[in-house]
């Protein structure tokens, strides 16, 4: 039996005065992801049957490389934002919630850097 | 925190049955959830089935319960709308005080936390009420029709998992009602208080709330409007 009043339990630490940035970013990154996805699909569709060298040449053009880097970054960002929502919804214990969140963000940061480096290697001709 | 299993003493087991009197016409089976806090087991009490009710016309909000799998007001739900047995449970995912009576303490505290009253600094005119246009009045007309039955909040998965921090559709609809009231002068403070990953942004527009509301209100839309207003003042 708690001696705290119900209102005290509800108001507790007060508002975080945040969350709208996350909400907005989730929507904007979704729009960006749709556009970048369309670009990727359109580009790949025109290259059906192209040789490895052709695809590498295409990806080393500044515009294609820039879009590819953006795609990697936006995809990772959007995934993190989405997973954060799921974690906050379903991981109840406070310490656990923060720990899972940090691990997820770390994993996606590493994945994003690997993705970007992979594109850059092609763009700068290291991999070719 | 998500809880997918009922506590030991709340698991549903077969209970008592009362056969219809001989010669009865229009017989329907009612299956009613029972919970006796003293014995820790349902179905041992039988002389009194406990539930809240008052107005019997859908205006007090007391008799909200889960009937045939849907949160609704018992007094205006017709048996003829239900095919087969009538299954009756308390509002989902709330602590049960007894039988069909859920503990709504937290729900009411959340309502109180949004300060559901007019806040102004400008004194009221000495000789008349505060005025607002007909159009502005109509904006608060529908949200004001909420009877705080809790059908919406207790149908909301986000509320099930995080009701200690998420305010839920009913309290947020009430907050919205005061945010859009053109006579109120605390709109900014009200938005400040709501801008929180848990208080407000747990709503993912699942729309269970609008589906459940026996007064045909749309808390999901009100919540979306609140989010838009908060975004508006950033851009
Ligand atoms: S729309 Fe929001 S408040 Fe309504 S049921 Fe869904 S998550 Fe809950
Ligand atoms: S919005 Fe509808 S369901 Fe929710 S508390 Fe008000 S009347 Fe009940
Ligand atoms: S008894 Fe008042 S709403 Fe049902």
| pLDDT tens by residue, B205-223 | 999 999 999 999 999 999 9
| pLDDT single digits (tens) A57-98 | 999 999 999 999 999 999 999 999 999 999 999 998 889 999
Q: Which ligand is nearest to the CA of B220?
A: 1
**Angle CA A113–A115–A121, to nearest 5:** 100
**Residues B111 and B53: beta-carbon distance below 8 Å:** no
Task: Share the mean pLDDT of chain A.
Answer: 94
pLDDT tens digits for range A45-66 = 998 888 999 999 999 999 999 9
Q: Residue A24 corresponds to which tokens in the numbers above?
A: 């907005």
Whole-prediction pTM value?
Answer: 0.88
Instruction: State if residue B206 touches ligand 1 by the CB under 6 angstroms criterion.
Output: yes
Domains of chain A: 15-123 (1.20.1300.10)
Q: pLDDT tens for residues B75-117?
A: 999 988 998 999 999 999 999 999 999 999 999 999 999 999 9
Q: Which domains, and CATH codes, for chain B?
A: 30-102 (3.10.20.30), 105-233 (1.10.1060.10)
- Whether pLDDT at B10 is above 80: no
A85: closest chain B residue by CA: B202
Q: How far is the CA of B80 from the centre of ligand 3 (A)?
A: 18
Q: Is the CB of B222 under 6 A from ligand 1?
A: no
Instruction: Give the end-to-end CA distance of chain B in Å, rounded to a whole number.
Output: 34
Closest approach of B100 to chain A, Cα-based (Å): 22
* Interface ipTM above 0.85: yes
Cα separations in angstroms, B73 against B29, B70, B145, B210: 19, 10, 15, 14
């Amino acid at each position: 039996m708690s001696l705290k009043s119900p209102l005290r339990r509800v108001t507790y630490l007060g508002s975080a005065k945040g969350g709208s940035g996350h909400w907005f970013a989730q929507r904007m990154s979704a729009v960006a992801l749709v556009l970048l996805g369309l670009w990727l699909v359109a580009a790949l569709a025109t290259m059906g049957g192209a040789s490895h060298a052709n695809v590498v040449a295409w990806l080393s053009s500044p515009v294609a490389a820039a879009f590819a880097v953006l795609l990697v970054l936006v995809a990772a960002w959007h995934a993190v934002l989405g997973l954060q929502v799921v974690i906050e919804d379903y991981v109840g214990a406070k310490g656990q919630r923060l720990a899972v969140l940090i691990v997820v963000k770390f994993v996606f940061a590493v994945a994003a850097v690997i993705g970007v480096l992979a594109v850059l290697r092609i763009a700068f001709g290291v991999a070719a | 925190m998500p809880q997918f299993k009922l506590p030991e003493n709340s698991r549903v087991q077969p209970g008592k049955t009362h056969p219809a009197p001989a010669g009865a016409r229009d017989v329907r089976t009612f299956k009613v959830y029972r919970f006796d806090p003293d014995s820790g087991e349902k179905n041992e009490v039988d002389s009194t089935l406990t539930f809240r009710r008052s107005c019997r016309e859908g205006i007090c909000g007391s008799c909200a319960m889960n009937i045939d799998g849907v949160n609704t007001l018992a007094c205006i739900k017709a048996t003829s709308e239900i095919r087969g047995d009538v299954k009756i449970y308390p509002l989902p995912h709330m602590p049960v005080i007894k039988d069909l009576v859920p503990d709504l303490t937290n729900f009411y505290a959340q309502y109180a936390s949004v300060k559901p009253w007019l806040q102004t600094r400008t004194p009221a005119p000495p000789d008349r009420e505060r005025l607002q246009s007909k159009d502005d009045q109509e904006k608060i007309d529908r949200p004001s029709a909420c009877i705080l039955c809790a059908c919406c909040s207790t149908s909301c998965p986000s509320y099930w998992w995080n009701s200690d921090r998420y305010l839920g559709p009913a309290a947020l609809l009430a907050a919205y009602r005061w945010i859009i009231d053109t006579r109120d002068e605390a709109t900014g403070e009200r938005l400040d208080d709501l801008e929180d990953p848990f208080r407000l942004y747990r709503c993912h527009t699942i729309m269970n709330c609008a589906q459940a509301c026996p007064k045909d209100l749309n808390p999901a839309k009100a919540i979306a409007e609140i989010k838009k207003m908060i975004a508006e003042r950033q851009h």
